[in-house]
């Protein structure tokens, strides 16, 4: 049975909802899928290479990764580097894939506020030989900030991700797992 890890961080719940939907989609495809919150006590012990697919999710904060996410990924990266796993050319490890998902509100410049965060997170895994299978950017309410949830470039985004958005994510995760 193929194994996936949904590794995420979330402060106001949007990314967490997405993580749950992605996990459900992966299990729909017959995969064994685990959830792990970055920074949780046991998250430092995760062995990335134990998984066929790692789904890495976080919100965009100031168009980059939030500090706890950055700290977690950097610390893990140092661990792999010390083990000699980071080598020039970053050769691909057969069968090792990563999916990046990033929630954002885009009040100022839209999805461009999320892409740098997604690319940044992906680099940790590409450096370890994972292939980036896809990057998903999910428009989400700026919880607790009405102006940024109603007056921004993306319009009224209150209540996002919607049930329909989450159902689409579930299907997309199943489809991704089916093609890997």
Ligand X SMILES: Cc1cc2nc3c(=O)[nH]c(=O)nc-3n(C[C@H](O)[C@H](O)[C@H](O)COP(=O)(O)O)c2cc1C
Contact between residue 20 and residue 69 where contact means Cβ atoms under 8 Å apart: no
Q: How far is the CB of 87 from ligand X (least distance, A)?
A: 33
- The rounded distance, in Å, linking the Cα atoms of 14 and 90 is 32
Footprint on residues 152-171 left by ligand X (CB under 6 A): none
Piece in contact with ligand X (CB under 6 A), picked from 32-40, 54-62, 73-81, 85-93: 54-62
Kindly state whether residue 118 participates in binding ligand X, applying the rule CB under 6 A: no
- Output the CA–CA distances (angstroms, integers) from residue 11 to 59, 61, 80, in the order listed: 8, 11, 27
Kindly state whether residue 15 participates in binding ligand X, applying the rule CB under 6 A: yes
Kindly state whether residue 20 participates in binding ligand X, applying the rule CB under 6 A: no
- Output the CA–CA distances (angstroms, integers) from residue 46 to 36, 59, 107, in the order listed: 9, 21, 34
Kindly state whether residue 21 participates in binding ligand X, applying the rule CB under 6 A: no
Residue numbers at the binding site for ligand X (CB under 6 A)? 10-16, 59-63, 103-106, 113-114, 140, 142-143
């Amino acid at each position: 049975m193929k194994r996936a890890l949904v590794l995420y961080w979330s402060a106001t719940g949007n990314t967490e909802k997405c993580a749950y939907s992605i996990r459900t989609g992966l299990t729909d495809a017959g995969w064994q899928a685990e959830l792990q919150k970055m920074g949780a006590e046991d998250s430092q012990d995760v062995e990335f290479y134990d998984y066929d697919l790692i789904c890495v999710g976080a919100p965009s904060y100031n168009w980059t990764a939030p500090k706890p996410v950055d700290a977690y990924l950097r610390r893990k990266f140092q661990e792999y580097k010390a083990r000699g796993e980071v080598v020039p050319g970053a050769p691909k490890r057969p069968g090792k894939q990563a999916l990046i998902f990033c929630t954002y509100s885009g009040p100022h410049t839209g999805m461009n506020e999320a892409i740098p965060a997604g690319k940044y997170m992906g680099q940790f895994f590409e450096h370890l030989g994972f292939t980036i299978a896809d990057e998903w950017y999910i428009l989400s309410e700026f919880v607790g900030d009405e102006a940024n949830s109603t007056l921004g470039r993306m319009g009224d985004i209150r209540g996002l991700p919607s049930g329909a958005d989450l159902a689409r994510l579930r299907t997309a995760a199943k489809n991704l797992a089916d093609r890997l």
